[in-house]
Chains A and B, each alone.
Chain A
Amino acid sequence: MTEITLVEAVNLALMHEMERDPAMVILGQDIGVNGGVFRATVGLLEKFGSERVLDTPLAENMIAGTAVGMATQGLHPVAEIQFMGFIPPTIDQLISHASRMRNRTRGRLSCPMVLRAPYGGGIHAPEHHSESTEAMFAHIPGIRVVIPSSPTRAYGLLLAAIRDPDPVVFLEPKRVYRLMKQAVEDNGEALPLDTCFVLRPGSDITLVSWGAMLHETQQAAEQLAGEGIEAEVIDLATIKPIDMETILESVGRTGRCVIVQEAARTCSVSAEIAARLAEEGLMSLFAPIRRVTGFDTVMPMFRLEGHYMPGTERIIDAVRQTMEYA
């Protein structure tokens, strides 16, 4: 088994599924000859040809709409948007069509498409390249939003997303694209969607995060263990729909919860988790739920992004404050 990066795991999953499923096509800007700006689609054009690996004109809305049309005909399109900062034009297609095609035709037509995009800050990219707007998608009924945090999760969750009969927005934490390597077996085994993964068991506090922020969250958990605080770390993975059962069960044991996200705070995924814990888990809480998040500001250009993005220290501070409640 070779050790590969997250972006290589994305490539491996695409390669595997295109081999297995002749109905799968990929489309987007620069995904063919160039292999994608992050090289997620490298080698696919050579292997599957220009009938299945489609370099499109530059128009994100069109890429999403074309994928919707393809999907209604039983193709399995995987569309790439180069950066999440350019994803807003696709929202019309996702909210007005992809998410409701099955419902408005009572299942006569459906939309088994995947929209992939690298997201998040931390790579010193230009303006409009570092956004983390996953909550906008999480609000849409009828779709799934999936965010892997590591190479193994990227491989298994992307396979699941492509095989899912409904539309999936698959957001790849680009800060982690080449940050770490893991042994990934190309066995074609998908990981379950709509399910959290417990990355580290613990009894004192539950830390919930997703995507790139799990790395700071896990580092924080390591340091806290040195102080005698055992944190349970949960990788949310599918942020729509959220697996609250796993989170409620964990918080039921630990009585404390800190949610960590890179995105802006208001109306975010962390807000939803906190609300659900307040509604359904209040009696097991020993302390207020705390959130460590980006600010309700425009994602700053890269000189300030380090100040915007939650770091290990902010997470540890939040945990310590939470632990002060008896």
Chain B
Amino acid sequence: MNQSRAFQIEYHQFLDPDGVPVGDLPPLAEETEALQALYRNMVFTRLYDERAIALQRTGQLGTFASSLGQEAIGAGVGHAMRPEDIILPSFRENGALLFRHFRVRDLLLYWGGDERGMANPKLGDDFPICVPIATHTTQATGVAFAIKYRKQPRVVVCLLGDGGTSKGDFYEAINLAGAWNLPLVFVINNNQWAISVPRNLQSRAETLAQKAIAAGIPGVQLDGNDPIAVRHYVAEAIEKARDGGGPTLIEAISYRLCHHTTADDATRYRSEEELEAHRRLDPVPRLRRFMERRQIWSEEQETRLIQACQAEIEQEVRHYLDTPPQKPESMFDSLYAELPRELQAQRQSLLGKEVNHD
């Protein structure tokens, strides 16, 4: 029997690029503290990005992935999560991580080439930054199964980029999440470029959210530069998952205003005109203008905020730069719960080498 089905993908936005409401606003728009927290996170993330790039340019940090222009996604996701929820980030989710227990010093250590950046015990069950593309999506299903198995009221949030949706891992994960009705929210940070490959070469699918249809789970598209929209719809999906309503796929449309990483030169593959057009959609001034119109933000508050963020970041940078280096033998020390006898000789040979150098 032939059966046809009609599907549709909804698109949501609350604020236009000038911060003007485009329709009815959710209750969040009346919560001054929440809006200011979102704004602070976005400003802090942007200043941290700038500082990290400066450290990289002066040889004090390794390759770094900025999230310039995409701060609304990190802020919205991070603010929507409860502390007991679990995040599985890709490598461009600074804002979301800064709403968790990740500190600037942790993130700098990590990008500075030191595993201890992902070790802070306060991170709890939050996952380390995932560099391979979309491989963490299937791990998210395992984490979500574990909390469901233990009947814990927690939700897993897995963030990936638009490029990640081209991988089999992504489909395998959303498919299992649907089949097992897992408490899991996938958020696609669609910044429209996977290094040099644009969104339209990534997939002929009209939206990335519609990939959810094949997995039988809800898919929704958002203006990812609208922090109120991201916060509202991610929170809605999280609470639905917490109530046993299963997974959701959210495509948050944004734009990568920066290079892919500090090792990339985006001028090779995209025009200044395109970049300029997207600068006008920047999420940071968008929320600021909205708050100013509501008279819950002033020039003076802005100045104080920037000073406070910069002071905190400088203190964290100092912590990072003052952290004593890892001992060479530490590469063996967390490899196995107990180092197998066979590897003890290798560890010893490294120690011997170290002694000789002294």
Contacts and interface: CB of A to CB of B under 8 A. Distances in A.
B139 A141 contact: no
B142 A65 contact: yes
B172 A69 contact: no
Contact of B149 (A62, A75, A101, A166): A75
A73 B146 CA distance: 6
A104 B118 contact: yes
B142 A66 contact: yes
Nearest to A142: B335
Given A57-B176, A65-B169, A72 B139 contact: yes
A72 B334 contact: no
Given A69-B146, A75-B149, A103 B176 contact: no
17 contacts: A66-B139, A66-B141, A68-B139, A69-B139, A69-B144, A75-B145, A92-B135, A93-B139, A96-B132, A102-B337, A103-B331, A110-B337, A141-B335, A194-B340, A194-B342, A241-B342, A243-B342
A61 B169 contact: yes
Given A65-B135, A65-B137, A108-B119, A70 B341 contact: no
Interface stretch (B46-54, B58-66, B120-128, B233-241): B120-128
Contact of B141 (A69, A102, A106): A69
B147 interface: yes
A67 B145 CA distance: 10
A221 B319 CA distance: 64
B173 interface: yes
A309 to B, nearest CB: 28
A201 B314 CA distance: 67
Interface of B: 115-116, 118-121, 123, 125, 127-128, 132, 135-147, 149-150, 168-169, 172-173, 175-176, 179, 331, 334-338, 340-343
A105 interface: yes
A107 interface: yes
Interface in A214-273: 241-245
Most A Cβ at <10 Å: residue of B123, B169, B172, B331: B172
Contacts, number: 139
Contacts of B144: 69
A198 B26 CA distance: 71
Interface of A: 25, 51, 54, 56-57, 59, 61-62, 64-75, 77, 92-93, 96-97, 101-110, 141-142, 164-166, 194, 241-245
Contacts of B137: 65
Nearest to B169: A61
Contact of B118 (A54, A70, A105, A245): A105
A66 B335 contact: no
Nearest to B179: A57
Given A105-B128, A106-B118, A165-B336, 13 more contacts: A51-B149, A61-B172, A62-B175, A69-B138, A72-B125, A72-B143, A75-B146, A102-B337, A108-B123, A110-B337, A142-B335, A164-B337, A166-B336
Nearest to A55: B179
Contact of B115 (A66, A74, A103): A103
A106 B334 contact: yes
Given A57-B172, A245-B341, A109 B138 contact: no
A198 to B, nearest CB: 17
A2 to B, nearest CB: 33
Given A104-B128, A141-B335, A242-B342, A67 B142 contact: yes
